Amino acid sequence: MRPTTLDPLFAPVTTLSGVGPKLGKLLDKFLGDELRGARVIDLLFHLPSGAIDRRPSPSIAEAPIGDVATFAARIAEHRPPPPGKGKAPYRIVVEDESGDVTLVFFHADVRHLLQTLPIGAYRIISGKLELWEGMRQMVHPERLLEPKLAATMPSFEPVYGLTEGIGPRVMGRIVAAAAERCPDLAEWQDEAFLARSGFPPFREAMQALHQPADAKAVEGDTVMRRRVAYDELLASQIALALVRRQQKKAAGRATSGDGQIRRALESALPFTLTDGQRQAIADIHDDMEKPERMLRLLQGDVGSGKTVVALMAMAAAAEAGRQSVLMAPTEILARQHAERLAPLAAKAGLQLALLTGREKGPGRRQVLEGLADGRIDIAVGTHALFQEGVAFRDLALAIVDEQHRFGVHQRLLLGSKGEAVDILVMTATPIPRTLALTWFGDMDVSVLSEKPAGRKPIATKVISLDRYEEVVAGVGRAVAAGAQIYWVCPLVQESDTLDVAAAQERSEALQQLFGDKVGLLHGQMPGRDKDQAMADFVAGRSRILVATTVIEVGVDVPNASVMVIEHAERFGLAQLHQLRGRIGRGSAASTCLLLYKGPLGPVAEARLGIMRETEDGFRIAEEDLRLRGEGEVLGTRQSGSPDWRIARPETDGDLLAAARDDARLLIERDPQLDSPRGQAVRTLLYLFERDVAVRLLRAG
């Protein structure tokens, strides 16, 4: 059971004052996931991405122009728009001995302004100060305070990632309310280590992160963030250590089949397996036959054919009369896997079912029954497969596709679904082995290094967005020649509203030219519409699919041979590589157009250059590492790894090493976490949601 001291943090966000059902819904979409809404702790861990300096300038003359300025001034004059020009802005001139500033209000509520800013009154004013025709002006001041309230305005105001419908002030207010809720918790860190590192207590660190004392405080390498990052790393290393210990103790079960279903499958395939695929299948089967638990990573670049390896492994489990799950990171991908595997599975006499958060009602019940009584051999789904209430008759094998989106926590949950489940993790991210080991624990590795035969190279071109018209003309020619095209619009910062808007706008523009040949796919569409858009594209009813990065992972439409990526300079290299891997899967020659908005900095130019030069995922990852650091390679920065909320692989490597040693020592000395520190560590595991590991304690 979770310690009750943590209850306020795991309560829904609507338990915060000022967060009603409407705000709650927006936050659920922003910080929640398929299975649960946003909780107070999600806000607590929503750290500022910057801070606004609101320290007052001594006078108007000294206030910085072109930046946020804060100063005290007297209201000197109200200037309503001239008669007959009702739409012109309302202006108010404020002054001190050193100069004046014109405050500009569009669509002003004049009565309100007259009431709150009477002539002669003094105000603390803060906002972006500009020069306009030689005069200082400020459009819509962000703060207008009576001097006696000056102290309520922090010198450094945290800036948070936003979502549609929640502006900076509201976000600031509710995150502050969440930070207030952070309880005082018994210390789980080693006291000597804390003292040496100069780390403050958890609560103090959390609150300081949300109330930056200076501009540096949000830059990332502060002692406050490092404290919490270390907490997170320790929690995950302890969880890993517990899993390792349990894996050693609990012998696995040998799963071996007679090869009959696999042979049936192989002869049903429309192609012959590559040597690499055969080897990987053999590695996996050897592991499964052993009485130990398998923990294997299958690495293979996009398009290398990992899915069929997964299917063969699941067939081997079925031969032994046991069940398997295949988990995908997105709903779209889960559906695609299910649709593509079902006919093959059927030919081999296997029952396959789909389970995501969207399967509801009687259909869902049927699947759950089939899993519980063993009628279903293979379940394909999203992490809804972990949900309480999903039980298997005899689960032998769990396969996780596109692993960097999953983590140790999910792996633990999986392990809890069956005794001694073998685990296969598939990734297209070419994680250097050393990194994989430290961040994800010990795994055996199989690599698919060759691509299936018959692939043609992809011609990649880097083109300025200024040449949009030419690109569209080229797209038109490709469509006329029978090709299908992905048109990818970028994610704009942290807002998924803006990127959706960009994709919508682009699809409308292309519809003007190509009519109903244009489809649209983005993350905010209802699930059914997403399926429909995808199905239309797969069936060739739409020829151009305008999409946000929801197509990044795994989607497979062999006839798609052209990809246009707009604002390619905004993507990470790994992400560009993943995206581009969606084409070049059929027999036609493929083209990828990387559209950029200039001018490009030297790093951006080098990155796009690498994309033009090579299709080799490992080479791209290496260059990426060189240009950006480890974080990009793991995809943590761009995709927002669910496994790491605070810690950053690129800067916290030293902490990781310390946490690993600390965790091992702790588990050695106090294997049941019974000591006072052990008890506090249990709270830590719940706090960072590694608590499945706590169940292992009881089991042990």
**64 belongs to the binding site for ligand ADP (CB under 6 A):** no
Work out whether 89 is an interface residue with Mg ion (CB under 5 A).
no
Per the rule left: phi > 0, alpha: psi between -120 and 50, beta: everything else, 629 is left
Nearest-approach distance from CB 308 to ligand ADP, in angstroms: 5
Query: In 3-state terms, what secondary structure has residue 462?
Result: strand
Cβ-contact 223, 200 below 8 angstroms: yes
Q: How many residues bind Mg ion (CB under 5 A)?
A: 1
Q: Give how far the C-alpha of residue 37 lies from the chain's centroid of Cα atoms, to the nearest Å.
A: 16
Which CB atom, from 175 or from 560, has the smaller least distance to ligand ADP? Answer: 560
Q: Which residues contact 489 (CB under 8 A, 6 or more apart)?
A: 499, 502, 503, 506, 546, 547, 548, 566, 567
Residue 431: C-alpha distances to residues 61, 399, 428, 576, 624 (Å): 54, 18, 9, 16, 12
Q: Is residue 329 near ligand ADP by the rule CB under 6 A?
A: no
Stated as kind and residue range, the H or E segment containing 412 is helix 408-415
Shortest distance in whole angstroms from residue 594 CB to ligand ADP:
20
Q: How far is the CB of 456 from ligand ADP (least distance, A)?
A: 13
Copy the structure tokens of residue 522: 């983005």
- The least distance separating ligand ADP from the CB of residue 299, rounded to whole angstroms, comes to 10
Backbone angles phi, psi at 598, to 5 degrees: -80, 175
- By CB under 5 A, is residue 519 in contact with Mg ion? no
| Residue 193 interacts with, from ligand ADP, Mg ion, none (CB under 5-8 Å by kind) | none
* Among 52, 235, 302, 475, interactor with ligand ADP by CB under 6 A: 302
DSSP 576-616: HHHHHTTSS-SSS-EEEEEEE-SPPPHHHHHHHHHHHH---
Q: In angstroms, rounded to a whole number, what is the distance separating the alpha carbons of residues 14 and 312?
A: 46
* Amino acid letter for position 345: A
User: In the stretch 547-566, what mask flags binding to Mg ion with x, by CB under 5 A?
Assistant: -------x------------
Sheet strands (E) in 269-417: 295-300, 323-327, 352-355, 378-381, 395-401
Selection from Mg ion, ligand ADP, none that 303 binds (CB < 5 to 8 A by kind) is: ligand ADP
CB of 452 to ligand ADP, least distance (A): 3
The answer to the question of residue 305 lying near ligand ADP (CB under 6 A) is yes
> Distance between CA atoms of 37 and 282, rounded to whole angstroms?
42
- H or E stretch covering 170: helix 168-180
Least Å distance, CB 312 to Mg ion, is 14
- What is the number of H-type helices and E-type strands within the chain? 26, 22
Q: How far is the CB of 401 from Mg ion (least distance, A)?
A: 6
Residue nearest to ligand ADP (CB): 305
Q: Tokens 């304690």 sit at which residue?
A: 697
From residue 610, alpha-carbon distances to 73, 232, 553, 584 in Å are 54, 35, 21, 18
* Minimum distance from residue 411 beta carbon to Mg ion (Å): 19
DSSP letter at 117 equals S
- For ligand ADP, the closer of residues 125 and 555 by Cβ is 555
What are the two backbone dihedrals, phi and then psi, of residue 358, each rounded to the nearest 5 degrees?
A: -90, -20
Q: Which of residues 137 and 578 has its CB atom nearest to ligand ADP in the complex?
A: 578
Q: From edge to edge, which strands make up the β-sheet containing 295-300?
A: 352-355, 378-381, 323-327, 395-401, 422-427, 295-300, 444-448
417: three-class secondary structure by DSSP = coil
Q: Which stretch binds ligand ADP (CB under 6 A): 283-291, 296-304, 493-501, 544-552?
A: 296-304
- Per-position x/- string for 572-591, each x denoting binding to ligand ADP as judged by CB under 6 A, each - no binding: -------------x------
Partner in contact with 100, chosen from Mg ion, ligand ADP, none, beta carbon below 5 to 8 Å by kind? none
Contact track, ligand ADP, 237-276, x by CB under 6 A: ----------------------------------x-xx--
Quick one: what does residue 299 bind among ligand ADP, Mg ion, none, with the CB cut-off 5 to 8 Å set by partner type?
A: none
Q: How far is the CB of 652 from ligand ADP (least distance, A)?
A: 30
Q: Does 342 bind ligand ADP (CB under 6 A)?
A: no
Regarding 300 and contact with ligand ADP (CB under 6 A), the answer is: yes
Strand partners, 297: 425, 445
C-beta closer to ligand ADP: residue 306 or 358 = 306
The footprint of ligand ADP on residues 523-562 (CB under 6 A) is 554, 556, 558
Closest approach of Cβ 300 to Mg ion, in Å? 8
Binding of residue 308 to ligand ADP (CB under 6 A): yes
Q: Which of residues 409-468 bind ligand ADP (CB under 6 A)?
A: 428, 452
Q: Which stretch binds ligand ADP (CB under 6 A): 16-24, 146-154, 298-306, 385-393?
A: 298-306
Residue 446 to residues 278, 291, 407, 424, Cα–Cα distance (Å)? 11, 20, 19, 10
Among positions 143, 253, 306, 383, the unique one binding ligand ADP when judged by CB under 6 A? 306
Binding-site size for ligand ADP (CB under 6 A) equals 18
Query: Min. distance of Cβ 271 from ligand ADP in angstroms?
Result: 4
Q: Structure tokens of 564?
A: 């246009």
What is the binding site for Mg ion (CB under 5 A)? 554
What is the binding site for ligand ADP (CB under 6 A)? 271, 273-274, 277, 300, 302-308, 428, 452, 554, 556, 558, 585
